[in-house]
Amino acid sequence: MATIEQLKEERAQQWREDLRKSMKNKERTDIPRVKMNELDPAYRITCNEEVNCGLTKEQAQTEAKRCLDCADPSCIKGCPVSINIPKFIKNIERGHFEDAAQAIKETSSLPAVCGRVCPQEKQCEAQCIHLKMKKPAVAIGYLERFAADYERENGLMKVPQMAPANGIKIAVVGSGPAGLACANDMAKMGYDVTVFEALHEIGGVLKYGIPEFRLPNDIVDAEINIMKQMGVKFEPNVVIGRTLSYDDMHEMGFKGIFVGSGAGLPRFMNIKGENLIGVMSANEYLTRINLMGAAKAECATPVLNGKNIAIIGGGNTAMDSVRTAKRMGAERAMIVYRRSLEEMPARQEEIHHAMEEGVEFMTLHNPIEYIGDDKGHVRQMVLQKMELGEPDASGRRSPVEIPGATETIDVDVVVVSVGVSPNPLIPSSISGLEVSKWGTVIVNQETMQSDVKDIFAGGDIVRGGATVILAMGDGRRAAENMDKYIKWQE
Amino acid sequence: MNKIVSKEYFSDKVAKLVVEAPLIAKARKAGHFVIVRTKEKGERIPLTIASSDIDAGTITLVVQAVGKTSQELIDLNEGDFIQDVVGPLGKATHIEKYDNTVVCCGGGVGVAPLLPIVEAFHKAGNRVVVVLAARTKDLVILEDEMRKISDEVIIMTDDGSYGNKGLVTQGVEDVINREKVDLCVTIGPAIMMKFVSKLTEKYNVPTVASLNTIMVDGTGMCGACRITVGGKTKFVCVDGPEFDAHQVDFDEMLMRLNSYKELEK
């Protein structure tokens, strides 16, 4: 992370000065915000191709001109990992795309991923100076993606500068965004890093959860390949706490362990008929399709399909599920959400894309019962209609039942996407690890270190349910502090 | 990739596979299972571990061909590789010393995962009576191995071609009627476990059933394996695979096992 002095120093560089003077602010703010190039909705629901196609060089450079290169850039404060946003955007403006990618990588490990899945409208873009002038924010996310894609597509991705190998072994548990970010930084600092993954694929939620139409697997694999070239070892099919115990890991010589095992257990609502055939968690639905390839003829894993598919919930996972259902051929793909559109936690872009793709939004509805046929297959669901009451602890207006107002509709598949609880495997297998009542691992918020001194943790196992960027930030912070801890020990 | 060190057919649909998996061999305990993926595009299926050899670094799986993937698995030969084997998963069997007899009953390939459980109870100093059930003589498996690690083995066959004629429940009931039984452990087809559970409930004999449901990841992530135990939803992969049989909703479990029957056809 750059200090304020560094930011100022870089901003004062001659090329930045020249660039700022090359155009008047008024001219910059008059440029309309770029629109992302997208696949046509009618076409994209027939395939798994990425919906957002990225920006062209011209579009990116024009959009970059909108950035005023503020003296006190508030966008950086909105970024959970404090990417030097003006620096990378100004590099795009002057056509130094590779430098732009490098500038992002000073602080972010997975820019091509974050450029796609970060909720920028709630983070960096929410702080953009343009909003104060009643203009749309600079498309920071699109530009981040552009820089990262430019680098990858032109074969410019390379092993970063690495400290000499120090021969100290450290272990990373879980290969999702938190684990990859931690592994990346530890490898750069010269450590001998092994990443253990319970599944057969590396990438965690980036592979099993987020669909390819939002994040193609190639992009994740490109990042993993660079890490392999950096000497990071990946061990799939190893469940820490089961295959290898904490003691085993010490015996193997690991001096530090980062736990990024993610959110494990899907939550259900405990309503009648929830165990009928055809009712499943979003994790199961997405894992079968994304990780196991259930939609592909050559893959053995099946997935239940139907004409009418209802997804319960309003988060990004619910949007991923419902848009997947559409692509699996559902005639009616529905979001059933107990609050209104306004309270929906999913990203605006995902909601917008889902609407374009013909997803039905049944807001202010809540399932109270599933009805099955004689074979136990779900056929209908009973929905309670809701209205909005007073704001609750989360600040959102809480939904209240409208007495007697129910509706029964036909469904063949129901995907429950109402959240997850942390994976219990690690907390339950390491004695002394302090766990909250929600099952999350308790760590020092600054250092990500747990009560068991050589164990650090981050991502959903600590936060319960967070974003890719927060998980990544945790992984990086843990790496920095694990390095300090190990050096202090010696 | 895990190499198949040896393979032996128990019948044309049931084979014993000894598989290289040194870490699992070392870590596994009675009651644990593994998730196996036979090939690159294959599905993930759970299989209970029958035994292991720490020195050789191998685990033994007994597989019955019931669907496409299990058939593929037993079609593999000595020297072939299994794409992925991950484990040991689930909670290990709770082993303790009881004052009176422990009855372990198994049917079909359920006899294989019963083996380490019988061994563990016997080692803990229990009197262990094993009831093995099969349709016919040729399908009785692991009889000799069971005899070595238990006090008595009772064989039940549906057609009376070997041992006593009758179902597993009859064998268990005979033991309960002749001696004091403190615990019954049952592993086999869900329908068999359901009836064993009904029987022992009548006699107030605490019973543990090891359940084999549909799973994807096997680490608690997907919930495909969920069942109802005592009115609460449980995940077989992380809460089990062993549960108090008298609390298990076997009818729901039987129903859920058919989730993909139509798609498999």
Which helix (H) or strand (E) is B11 found in, with range?
strand B2-11
Render pLDDT for A318-339 as a digit per residue (tens, 0 to 9). Answer: 999 999 999 999 999 999 999 9
Query: How far is the C-alpha of B47 from the C-alpha of B57, rounded, in Å?
Result: 18
Are the C-beta atoms of A252 and A169 separated by less than 8 Å? yes
Pick among A281, A284, A299 to test the B interface (most B CBs inside 10 A): A284
Verify whether the Cβ–Cβ distance B86 to A281 is below 8 Å.
no
Query: How far is the C-alpha of A127 from the C-alpha of A130, rounded, in Å?
Result: 9
The percentage of chain A sitting over the pLDDT mark of 70, rounded to a whole number, equals 100
Verify whether the Cβ–Cβ distance A425 to B217 is below 8 Å.
no
B204 CB-near residues (< 8 Å, 6+ apart): none
Q: Spell out which residues of chain A touch residue B91, defining contact as CB-CB under 8 Å.
A: none
CA A265 vs. chain centroid, Å, equals 18
Query: How far is the C-alpha of A269 from the C-alpha of A275, rounded, in Å?
Result: 11
Q: What is the pTM of this model?
A: 0.93
Q: Tokens 């599944």 belong to which residue?
A: A199
In angstroms, the separation between the Cα of residue A161 and the nearest Cα of chain B is 33
Residue B9's identity, in one-letter code, is Y
Region A54-66 average pLDDT: 97
Note the helical H segments in A405-467: 425-429, 460-463
Structure confidence at residue A453 as a pLDDT band (50, 70, 90)? very high
Q: Spell out which residues of chain A touch residue B259, defining contact as CB-CB under 8 Å.
A: 277-278, 304
Q: Which of A159-163, A272-276, B55-59 has the lowest mean pLDDT?
A: A159-163
pLDDT for residue A158: 86
Region A454-475 average pLDDT: 91
Cβ–Cβ contact A194 with B under 8 A: no
- pLDDT > 60? residue A166: yes
Residue A20's identity, in one-letter code, is R
Q: Is A137 helix (H, G, I), strand (E, B) or coil?
A: coil
Answer whether CATH 2.40.30.10 is correct for domain B2-89.
Answer: yes
Cβ–Cβ contact A274 with B under 8 A: yes
Question: Across the beta sheet with A254-259, what order do the strands follow?
Answer: A233-235, A192-196, A169-173, A254-259, A455-457
A348 CB-near residues (< 8 Å, 6+ apart): A121
Nearest alpha carbon to residue A379 among A450, A429, A308: A308
Nearest alpha carbon to residue A330 among A413, A400, A398, A401: A413
Verify whether the Cβ–Cβ distance A424 to B220 is below 8 Å.
yes
Nearest CA in chain A to B226: A275
Are the C-beta atoms of B203 and B222 separated by less than 8 Å? no
Higher pLDDT, A80 or A458: A458
pLDDT for residue B265: 58
Q: List the single residue in A275, A300, A302 with the smallest CB-CB distance to B233.
A: A275
Query: How far is the C-alpha of B42 from the C-alpha of A349, rounded, in Å?
Result: 34
Q: Spell out which residues of chain B touch residue A423, defining contact as CB-CB under 8 Å.
A: 219-221
Region A228-240 average pLDDT: 96
B 60-99 → A contacts, CB under 8 A: 68-69, 83-89
The β-bridge partners of A377 are A277
Strand-strand pairing, A413-416 and A420-422 = unpaired
- pLDDT > 70? residue A62: yes
Sign of CA dihedral A347, A348, A352, A355: positive
Average pLDDT across chain A, whole number: 93
Are the C-beta atoms of A107 and A83 separated by less than 8 Å? yes
Q: List the single residue in B23, B222, B223 with the smallest CB-CB distance to A244.
A: B23
Q: Spell out which residues of chain A touch residue B214, defining contact as CB-CB under 8 Å.
A: none
- pLDDT > 90? residue A395: no
pLDDT for residue B239: 93
- pLDDT > 80? residue A264: no
Verify whether the Cβ–Cβ distance A274 to B233 is below 8 Å.
yes
Are the C-beta atoms of B118 and B30 separated by less than 8 Å? no
Verify whether the Cβ–Cβ distance A200 to B259 is below 8 Å.
no
Pick among A173, A301, A421 to test the B interface (most B CBs inside 10 A): A301
Cβ–Cβ contact B257 with A under 8 A: no
Q: Spell out which residues of chain B touch residue A237, defining contact as CB-CB under 8 Å.
A: 84-86
A490 CB-near residues (< 8 Å, 6+ apart): none
Cβ–Cβ contact B1 with A under 8 A: no
Residue B96's identity, in one-letter code, is E
Q: Is A106 helix (H, G, I), strand (E, B) or coil?
A: coil
Query: How far is the C-alpha of A355 from the C-alpha of A348, rounded, in Å?
Result: 11
Alpha carbon distance, N-terminus to C-terminus of chain A: 26
Nearest CA in chain B to A421: B221
Nearest CA in chain B to A264: B221
pLDDT for residue A2: 67
In angstroms, the separation between the Cα of residue A428 and the nearest Cα of chain B is 11
Q: List the single residue in B42, B226, B255 with the smallest CB-CB distance to A300.
A: B42
Cβ–Cβ contact B124 with A under 8 A: no
Supply the CATH classification number for the domain B101-259: 3.40.50.80
In angstroms, the separation between the Cα of residue B61 and the nearest Cα of chain A is 17
Pick among B222, B234, B259, B261 to test the A interface (most A CBs inside 10 A): B222
Cβ–Cβ contact B263 with A under 8 A: yes
Q: List the single residue in A270, A298, A424 with the smallest CB-CB distance to B238.
A: A424
Verify whether the Cβ–Cβ distance A304 to B258 is below 8 Å.
no
Query: How far is the C-alpha of B139 from the C-alpha of B121, rounded, in Å?
Result: 25
In angstroms, the separation between the Cα of residue B147 and the nearest Cα of chain A is 30
- pLDDT > 80? residue A394: no
Cβ–Cβ contact A295 with B under 8 A: no
Query: How far is the C-alpha of B13 from the C-alpha of A488, rounded, in Å?
Result: 60
Render pLDDT for A399-438 as a digit per residue (tens, 0 to 9). Answer: 999 999 999 999 999 999 999 888 888 888 888 889 998 8
Please count the helices (runs of H) and the strands (runs of E) in chain B.
Answer: 9, 16
Cβ–Cβ contact A290 with B under 8 A: no
| Residues of chain B where predicted confidence (pLDDT) is lower than 50 | none
Nearest alpha carbon to residue B46 among B207, B176, B227, B240: B240
The backbone torsions φ and ψ at residue A154, rounded to the nearest 5 degrees and listed phi first, read -100, 15
Q: Is B207 helix (H, G, I), strand (E, B) or coil?
A: strand
Chains A & B: contacts with CB separation below 8 Å = 120
Burial class of A4 by CB neighbour count within 10 A (0 to 12, 13 to 18, 19+): exposed
- pLDDT > 70? residue A1: no
Are the C-beta atoms of B235 and B229 separated by less than 8 Å? no
In angstroms, the separation between the Cα of residue B183 and the nearest Cα of chain A is 27
Structural domain boundaries in chain B: 2-89, 101-259
